[in-house]
Amino acid sequence: MPDIERLTKELNDFDPVKRRSALLRLAALATDNAFNPPEAVEVANMHCHTFFSFNAYGFSPSRLAWLAKERGYKLMGIVDFDVLDGVDEFLDACHLLNVRGSAGLETRLYLPEYGERVINSPGEPGVLYHMGVGFTSSRVPESAAGIIADLRARARARNRSMVERVNAHLAPVTIDYEQDVLPLTPNGNATERHLVQAYIRAAQRLSEPAAFWAEKLDEPREKVERLMGPHGDAPGFQNLVRARLMKRGGVGYVQPGPGSFLTIDRFHALIEACAALPCAAWLDGLSEGEQAMPELLDFLVTRGVVVLNIIPDRNWNIADTDLKRVKLRHLYEVVELARDFHLPLHVGTEMNSFGNKFIDDFDAPELAPVRDAFLEGAYFIYGHVMLQKWAGLGYQSAWAKTHFPDRGSRNAFFTRAGRLIPPGERGANALKTLDSNWTPRDVLRKLDAHSNLI
């Protein structure tokens, strides 16, 4: 259906008016049965970066909501680095398309308590990839507006500083941050991957770009030509440029320290002001910090963490059988540990690197022992989002803390609610009549009356 294909492409336009128009037309086609999407199945991808930070496929928040609709993914969530720019668009698109959605924020922090240990940022002691999930709006309360502005400003300053160092190394190939990098973004939030794209484009103006890159990256010319060729590996080449120039050991890299990023308490203040959920991020259990995972989780939970993020695919879908065995064991262990700490799981594929899947393989035998925990976590987060957005009764609300002072029972309630709340207008209508005078039992009875599970 050519109209579907064209409209789907328009969902990635940087113009929000064009994106919205395309989304409305696609929703209408689905409603009129001109396009019959598959019935949603029990799979979830709660961690998808959008083009407001970097999506390897150029997907906007609206496009990710449509991806879930057109492929029958029951639950979908976005996460962007340092900004909440896509939250409203994504949740509005999910509402229109009857998709169960959530939205989050990711950044890097510095933990002085772990200044001598690598945690989940390879080669960077004390640096922590960390998240907030379950946001319900792009708008930030005035009390936390300075924190979100600080995140964006710090990211911009790091990028500009990196461009200066890399320009000096790559001259005469140089880029201008405003003219060459920011146009690659819809709202001015550039990442290292945008810088890589800008440098590769700039080098294309040379008569022999492969020879240039071979010299600057200290790689054999034959290898570079193979990667850059018409049948080569463009994503692999981009990753090589980023690794050589911008990651640890590269000319653009500067070792982070205590002043490089926000503190965990300041970041959590932003998350909690937005009634969202502080979320730890687990890598693979191999670092010194993650080898002491009970200690790390104890530290993070005392600071307010209530969810744990996992990227499953990189922890089981591995060609090296010995490494796979080790990582899979760590995956099972951390899922069990999360259960002990009453931390629901937030899982997904990221989509911010070329080759990332659209959805995890929930039918893989390796994921059978943890599949239910993955889905329970997805429903938990969706339940919180809907109850917070439409009734103000989310996980962090005074209502929830009063009725469920312990996290275990609170988790169970929001997971159950997430399974019961229909997506879209049906779910919103079921929740709009609720208020803090309702008991949890009354809420579940109300939701059960509107549920597809009747």
List the chain domain ranges: 1-36, 37-140+274-449, 149-245
Tokens standing for residue 56: 């390897």
Q: What pLDDT, in 10s, does the model give residues 254-266?
A: 988 888 899 999 9
pTM metric for this prediction: 0.95
Measuring CA to CA, how many Å separate 18 from each of 60, 83, 87?
12, 22, 18
- Alpha-carbon distances of 225 from 197, 199, 215, 222, 228, rounded to whole Å: 17, 17, 12, 5, 5
How many H-runs (helices) and E-runs (strands) does the chain carry? Answer: 18, 7
- In the prediction, which pLDDT does 263 show? 95
Residue type, 353: S
pLDDT in tens, 301-350: 999 999 999 999 999 999 999 999 999 999 999 999 999 999 999 999 99
Contact 355, 235 (CB under 8 A): yes
**Helix residue ranges per DSSP H, 246-365:** 264-273, 288-291, 293-302, 321-340
Ordered DSSP codes for 42-89: EEEEEEE--TTT--TT---HHHHHHHHHHHTEEEEEEEEES--TTHHH
- Residue 5 in this model has a pLDDT that exceeds 50: yes
Closest of 267, 338, 336 to residue 298, by C-alpha: 338
Residue 2 has what pLDDT? Answer: 56
Tell me the per-residue pLDDT of 108-132, one tens digit each, with 9 for 90 and over. Answer: 999 999 999 999 999 999 999 999 9
Q: Percentage of the chain with pLDDT > 70?
A: 98
Q: Which CATH architecture has domain 37-140+274-449?
A: Alpha-Beta Barrel (3.20)
Question: Which residues contact residue 270 at a Cβ distance below 8 angstroms, ignoring those fewer than 6 apart?
Answer: 132, 140, 144, 147, 148, 151
Does residue 1 have a pLDDT over 80? no
Six token digits for residue 359:
């959805």
* Cα–Cα dist 387/22, whole Å: 29
Burial of 216 (0-12, 13-18, 19+ CB in 10 A): buried
Q: Angle at Cα 84 formed by Cα 178 and Cα 162, nearest 5°?
A: 35
State the Cα–Cα distance between residues 2 and 6, nearest whole angstrom: 6
